[in-house]
């Protein structure tokens, strides 16, 4: 998914002759804290409600204000991961999409990005979640896939999180099975550190209890 495919049609850009007061009304109606400014089809910049509120005169034309986010935008072919990175870096509610010629194409709003990522990651699909803590040097996605598939499951998505200033990393996988007890047992047998799993009520703990009960029954014989 790329930036131009995420553009929403609900955002009307501001003109340089619009006032700060008018811009604030538009932001409130759209439930946004940012809006793009254009001059014809040329992209001028991105303005925030905080910048407008910091001025002494809300009736001042926004084209005459100093815009701190004048270079904050993405190209039309940027991947959704890069789009999200810019959103996060500048704490945005809206992100303009601009061509190589500085022509304004439209804007992306944050809920669209979140919704698209949810669809891409298969988060709405039923399945179980397993979190593994692994040494960075030991990370082998092929091995993890083999363990999952050898237990008649498939990985729907996988996310890796690095811990700063450590040799550890966290691998979160979502599989296409709700019943993940056999998978947890398989990872445990192979000395993987399972730090979390969902759903919580699964046969992994039940299996451990069954084996404990069997051992107790054996010792009582």
Q: Does residue 158 share a domain with residue 91?
A: no
pLDDT bracket for residue 124 (50, 70, 90): confident
Average pLDDT over residues 40-62: 91
CB 128 within 8 A of CB 199: yes
Task: Report if residue 147 sits inside a domain.
Answer: yes
pLDDT at 202 over 70: no
Q: What is the pTM of this model?
A: 0.78
pLDDT at 64 over 90: no
Task: Report if residue 122 sits inside a domain.
Answer: no
Residue 112 CA from chain centroid, whole number: 11
CA–CA distance, 27 with 46 (Å, rounded to integer): 12
Which residue range is the domain that position 211 belongs to? 128-220
Q: Does residue 113 share a domain with residue 15?
A: yes
Identify the domain boundary among 77, 95, 117.
117
Kindly state the helix (H) or strand (E) to which residue 96 belongs, with its residue range: strand 94-98
Identify the domain boundary among 117, 152, 178.
117
Task: Report if residue 168 sits inside a domain.
Answer: yes
Average pLDDT over residues 138-151: 96
pLDDT at 159: 92
Q: Does residue 137 share a domain with residue 113?
A: no
Look up the CATH number of the domain holding residue 101.
Answer: 3.10.580.10
Look up the CATH number of the domain holding residue 196.
Answer: 3.30.70.260
CA–CA distance, 132 with 158 (Å, rounded to integer): 11
């Amino acid at each position: 998914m790329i930036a131009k495919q995420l553009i929403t049609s609900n955002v009307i850009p501001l003109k340089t002759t619009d006032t700060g007061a008018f811009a604030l009304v538009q932001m409130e109606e759209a439930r946004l804290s940012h809006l793009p400014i254009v001059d014809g089809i040329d992209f001028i910049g991105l303005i925030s409600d905080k910048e407008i509120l910091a001025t002494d005169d809300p009736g001042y034309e926004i084209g005459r204000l100093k815009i701190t986010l004048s270079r904050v935008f993405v190209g039309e072919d940027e991947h959704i991961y890069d789009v999200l990175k810019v959103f996060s870096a500048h704490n945005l509610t809206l992100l303009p999409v601009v061509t190589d010629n500085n022509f304004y194409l439209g804007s992306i709003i944050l809920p669209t990005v979140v919704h698209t990522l949810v669809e891409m990651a298969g988060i709405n699909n039923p399945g179980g979640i397993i979190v593994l803590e692994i040494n960075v040097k030991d990370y082998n996605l092929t091995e993890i896939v083999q363990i999952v598939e050898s237990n008649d499951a498939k990985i729907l998505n996988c996310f890796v999180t690095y811990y700063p200033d450590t040799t550890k990393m966290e691998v979160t996988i979502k599989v296409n099975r709700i019943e993940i007890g056999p998978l947890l047992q398989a990872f445990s047998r192979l000395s993987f550190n399972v730090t979390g799993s969902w759903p919580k009520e699964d046969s992994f703990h039940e299996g451990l209890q069954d084996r404990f009960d069997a051992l107790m029954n054996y010792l009582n014989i």
